[in-house]
Amino acid sequence: MTEILRLAAFSDDPAGGNPAGVVLDASGLSDERMLAIAAEVGYSETAFIVSRDGGKYRVRYFSPLIEVPFCGHATVATAVALGTGSHVFVTNAGEVPVSVDDAGTATLTSVDPRVDDLPGADLAALLAALRWDTSDLDESLPPKVAYAGAYHPILAVGSRRRLAELDYDVPALKALMEARGWTTVQLVFRAADDTFDVRDPFPVGGVYEDPATGAAAAAFGGYLRDLWIVPDDATLHLRQGDDLGRPGRLTVTLTPGRPGVQVSGTAAALPG
């Protein structure tokens, strides 16, 4: 019988953060079985270690509906489950080093990020699916598509209330995301120079919203650096999940000379 661990990533409290399933030995599981397990678990993602070689682990991530190339919160959960030390996760997006300190905080370093323009037609379709208008947007944080293992369009609003009132057209947003290969949509409100409130719809994975999204956090860090919105040695604080009643806290670190973005957080065990 396959053992499935359950942890809430980016929180010290099992009632917060983003729940993830973790299978530490998935060597005998088919793709179909991993997808079925992810659907049975019902979290936004479940991570599966399909092979290991010393401190290097081949990891795959499945949502209830699809496999995704990289998942930050399930990476944090898996690293915490493995324990203190340095690990390397070989993902579909590339190698992701992850360290876990003595306090139980995991820090992943993303693959090299990149930032692309969001075409006008895609922006219009995205706004329509979100039931937003251009007047809702924060002009200081322009719409883009960012990548750090998975693709995420980034939209920033000028009002925290607008973010809190998220109510999107699920079929329309899902169809647009599937057509463009987007994993989640990173919706952002800038609360302070180094602090952001974020929400991430994830209908392509069969989940209305991700409570804490490490992959999108890494992509967002790359976006902020690429557009010179923050210094290249910044430490950023992302607050996510508050609107869902599952508060999570993600720390994003940018380091000069290091292309990858670091994302840090804790994880709390959930009942089996």
Residues near 75 by beta carbon (within 8 Å), at least 6 away in sequence: 47, 59, 89, 91, 96, 98, 106, 108, 214
d(CA 101, CA 139): 39
- Per the CB < 8 A criterion, the answer to whether 152 and 183 are in contact is yes
Q: Taking CA 23 as the corner, what is the angle to CA 86 and CA 72, rounded to the nearest 5 degrees?
A: 55
CB 267 within 8 A of CB 11: yes
Q: Is 171 left (phi over 0), alpha (psi -120 to 50) or beta?
A: alpha
Q: Which of 32, 45, 95, 209 is catalytic?
A: 45
Task: Identify the helix (H) or strand (E) that includes residue 40.
Answer: helix 31-41
Torsion 28-57-3-250 (CA) sign? negative
3-class SS of residue 267: strand
What CA–CA distances, in Å, run from 193 to 196, 197, 263? 8, 12, 18
**CA 40, 44, 46 angle in degrees (round to 5)?**
65
95 among known catalytic residues: no
- Expressed in angstroms, the distance from the first to the final Cα of the chain is 14
Active site residues: 45
